[in-house]
Amino acid sequence: MLAIKIHSFVSEITNSSTELFVCDTDKEIEIVKEILQRILDGYNMMEQKNYTMDVFKEPFRVNLEEYKKWKKEDDAKRKKCEKTKDWNEYWNDRSPYGTIAGWFIDDEDAEEIKKIRTDIIRNGYEERDFCGYNRVKEYEERFEKICRSVNDWKGKNELIKKEVAKIYKEIEKEIKNGGDKPMWWDAPWKYSSYNFGLVKKLDGCIILVGTRDNSIPYDIWDAINRQLNGHNYHLG
């Protein structure tokens, strides 16, 4: 059986194959856009294409304090919409910060850290040199026992969710009593391929992202990174 994980809520926000560039540059936004235009012009001339700046969303610069304030407001808004089921209120006029939320982690946000740990308990952890996820055998046996005993899909998921919460509390109790922490406990984002690192490292950087699936031509990625001191990440 092949289990395919969805990147929680963010998978519903971003395109399945969107490229995101983090550019560590002090250049002004307008200068960045001029550089991008020149890169596109050169590519169009060489390849006889007709790409325009429409392949990019509007670039923006990350301000960490501003991001943290927005994240709290966004989380509260999402929780409200989960109750009312009126998602138009959530999606309308959503900040560009929604592009990086979830992919980059605030290690001072206890709720966000708990979500990653919870996901690891349920789905396993990834080691960077290993292709795939390592499941914790002890946890997996508990989940399999539930799956064998319950036929109802919805009921099964609810029981597994409760079991995950129970395991989380057991780990916390073990740590409190002086026991060993799981190796992924303190920095869980390092053990998930769906997280690219800490959001605080983006402070002051300019973010570029495609407007739709594969909208930014692959052949210009290196040029963008060279000209704007960037690094690109694949959202999908």
Per-residue model confidence as pLDDT tens digits over 114-125: 999 999 999 888
Same domain membership, residue 115 and residue 186: yes
Let me know if residue 19 belongs to a domain: yes
By residue range, what is the domain housing residue 147?
104-195
Q: What is the pLDDT of residues 185-207, one digit of tens each?
A: 999 999 887 789 999 999 999 99
Of 9 and 123, which is predicted with more confidence? 123
Same domain membership, residue 168 and residue 223: no
DSSP H/E element including 90? helix 88-91
Bridge partners of 169? none
Q: Is the pLDDT of residue 7 over 60?
A: no
Let me know if residue 227 belongs to a domain: yes
Let me know if residue 77 belongs to a domain: no
Same domain membership, residue 128 and residue 177: yes
Let me know if residue 86 belongs to a domain: no
Domain count of the fold of the chain = 2
Q: Is the pLDDT of residue 179 over 90?
A: yes
Q: The whole model's pTM is what?
A: 0.81
Q: Is the dihedral of CA 24, 30, 31, 36 positive or negative?
A: positive
Same domain membership, residue 219 and residue 151: no
Let me know if residue 141 belongs to a domain: yes
Share of the chain above pLDDT 70, in %: 90
Same domain membership, residue 177 and residue 110: yes
For residues 105 and 198, the answer to whether their CB atoms sit within 8 Å is: yes
d(C-alpha 8, C-alpha 4), whole Å: 12
* 183-187 long-range contacts, CB within 8 A, separation 24+: 184/117, 184/120, 184/125, 185/117, 187/107
Same domain membership, residue 229 and residue 166: no
